[in-house]
Chain A
Amino acid sequence: MRYALFLGCSVPTRGLNYELSSRKVAEKLGIEFVDIPEFSCCGFPIRSVNQDAGFTMAARNLALAEKQGLDVITLCSACAETLQEANYIFKHNPDKLAQINKELAKFGLKYNASIEVKHFARLLWEDIGVETIKKSVVKPLVEATVVAHYGCHYLKPSEIYGKFDDPENPTSLDDLIEATGATTIRNYPEKEKCCGGAILGVKEEDTVKMAGSKLKSIVELGADAMILICPFCSVIYEGNQKKAEKEYDMQFKLPIIYYPQLLGLALGFEPDDVGFKLNRIKAKALLEKLGLRKKPAA
C-alpha cells in the first residue's frame, strides 16, 4: 500500500503530533507514505473567495500525485473534502477539467482525473480494517473511555464520498476506537456538531460558543478524552478550550487526542513516540490510567 501523503496547511505547522503519530502508525500497519514536496494548500480557504482558484489549486495537487501514479491520503478533513470534491467535478465534467488543465499547462502539469483521494481514518477503516488493527494491538487500552468527534468534512458532502459511512449516525471512528480496546461512548449529545472552525476569523464568539457547548456535554459524560481526526477541529477544541471554559464558566481540561495517537499507544508506541508531549492539554490522567505514565507517589 503506497500513497501520497497530503499534509496541507494546519498539519505540518500546528498538528505535528498528528503527523508524527500518523506516519508511525501507518508504517507499523504496512502503509507507505510518499511525500511530494511541491504540494501546497489544498485550496479550501480560497474557495470562498473564488471557487475556480480553489479548485485549480486542488487540481495542481492532484496532478502532482497522479504524475507519480499515487492515490492521495489526507490527514485534514477540509483537505479531504476539497480534493475529493474537485476530483468528483473533474471526473464528471470533462469541460471543467479541460478548462483547469489550460492553467495547469503553465506548470507543465496535466490532470487526467485517474486517481482517488481518501481521509486517513477512512483508509484505516475501509482498507486496513478493524479486524487487522485488532490483531496488531499489543496493548489494549481497556481502561480508557473516550468520545469520537467526526467533524464535518470527513463525512460530508456524503454524495461525493459515496456514503461510505452514515453522515447522520456515523460509526467508523467509533469502530476504530474500539479496535484499540478503549471504550467509546457511541451516542452523546451534540455528537454530530461542527467545531465552528470555519468562522473563527469571522466571529470568534460564535465558534467559542459552538465548541464550548460540545465540550461541556462531553465533560459532563465523564469521558477521558475527545478523539478526533482533523487538525482544525483540534485548533478549536484544544487551542480555544480556555476561551470556551470562560464562556461557559466551568473547567473542562478535556484532552484532545488525534486518533493515530490513541492507536499508536495500542500498537505499542510510547506516548512521546506519538507526540503526546505536543498536546497542549495534557492527557496525564489518562496515560496514568493506562499505566503509561508513572503516578506521582502518594
Chain B
Amino acid sequence: MNTIDDKKLDSSFVEEVRNTPGGEKIVDCFACGTCAASCPVREFDERFNPRKIIHMVLLGMRDEVMNSDFVWLCSGCVTCQERCPQGVTITELMMALKNIAVKHNIVHPAFSMQAAEVYRYGRLYEVGDLNARREKIGLPRIPEEPDDIRTILDDTGVGKIAREVIGTSD
C-alpha cells in the first residue's frame, strides 16, 4: 500500500460510520489488536485485519476502505466483538461498513447475488423440484410465495440491486 495522501482523507467518513447502526462505538477503539489476534479470517488472509480497517476509518480513508474487497471478508463469527476490551461492536461495525458501501453503490457480487435469490424465491435457494423429494421422505411441502419479501426489499432499495442481477442473468 502507498503512504497516505493527507489531501484525500475524508473526516466525514468516521461520522457517517458513527451514525450507522453498529458503528456507534468505533472511536472507543484504542488499537490493542485483540480483534486482529482473534480473527479466524486474518489467520489465513492478511488483507483482512479488523484493527487496520478500524484505524483506516478513523483516519478518514474512505476510498481505500470502500473500494477494497476486504470489508466483505468478515466471516461474522463475533469472536472479536466478544473479546474487545473497549466494547466496540466490531462485527456489527463491519456490517455497518458494508451497508455504507451499498449506500454508495458498491456491492460485492456475492451479496447482490444473494439478494437476487432472496428476491426470486423468498429464500436463498429455490425449493422447486425438491418438494417432490421432500414429500417422498415424509417432509412437508415448502410453498414459495415471495411477494411480501419483494415488497420489503423494494421498499429498502435492495430490490433494485436484486432486479439488476436478475435482469442480467435472464
Contacts and interface: CB of A to CB of B under 8 A. Distances in A.
B7 interface: no
Interface of B: 21-22, 40-41, 43-45, 69, 72-79, 81-82, 91, 95-96, 98-99, 102, 107-108, 110-115, 118, 122-127, 130, 133-134, 137-140, 142-143, 145-146, 148-149, 151-153, 155-158, 161
Interface stretch (A116-124, A202-210, A263-271): A202-210
A157 B81 contact: yes
A98 to B, nearest CB: 16
A40 B40 contact: no
A47 B75 CA distance: 13
B72 A202 contact: yes
Given A16-B134, A46-B158, A106-B151, A51 B77 contact: no
B139 A20 contact: yes
A57 B95 CA distance: 17
A29 B125 CA distance: 31
Contacts of A202: 69, 72-73, 108, 110
A30 B115 CA distance: 38
Given A47-B95, A49-B99, A202-B72, A41 B118 contact: yes
A152 B91 CA distance: 12
Contact of B77 (A38, A40, A57, A194): A194
A10 interface: yes
A152 B111 contact: no
Interface string A148-179: 00001100111000000001100000000000
Given A103-B155, A194-B40, A49 B79 contact: no
10 A-B pairs with the lowest CB-CB distances in the bound complex, closest first: A201-B110, A194-B77, A9-B124, A156-B78, A53-B156, A40-B122, A152-B77, A45-B114, A9-B123, A209-B44
B32 to A, nearest CB: 17
Contacts of B95: 47-48, 51
Contacts of A285: none
Given A40-B122, A167-B82, A194-B77, A12 B111 contact: no
B48 to A, nearest CB: 8
A176 to B, nearest CB: 22
Interface in A20-67: 20, 23, 35, 37-38, 40-41, 45-53, 56-57, 60
B45 A206 contact: yes
Given A41-B123, A50-B156, A192 B149 contact: no
Contacts of B99: 48-51
Contacts of B152: 53, 56-57, 60, 103
A255 interface: no
Contacts of A201: 110-111, 113-114
Contact of B153 (A9, A14, A53): A53
B49 to A, nearest CB: 13
A229 B21 CA distance: 29
B81 to A, nearest CB: 6
Nearest to A12: B142
A10 to B, nearest CB: 7
Contacts of B158: 46, 49-50, 53
A168 B41 contact: no
Given A13-B125, A40-B146, A56-B156, A193 B110 contact: no
A198 B75 contact: yes
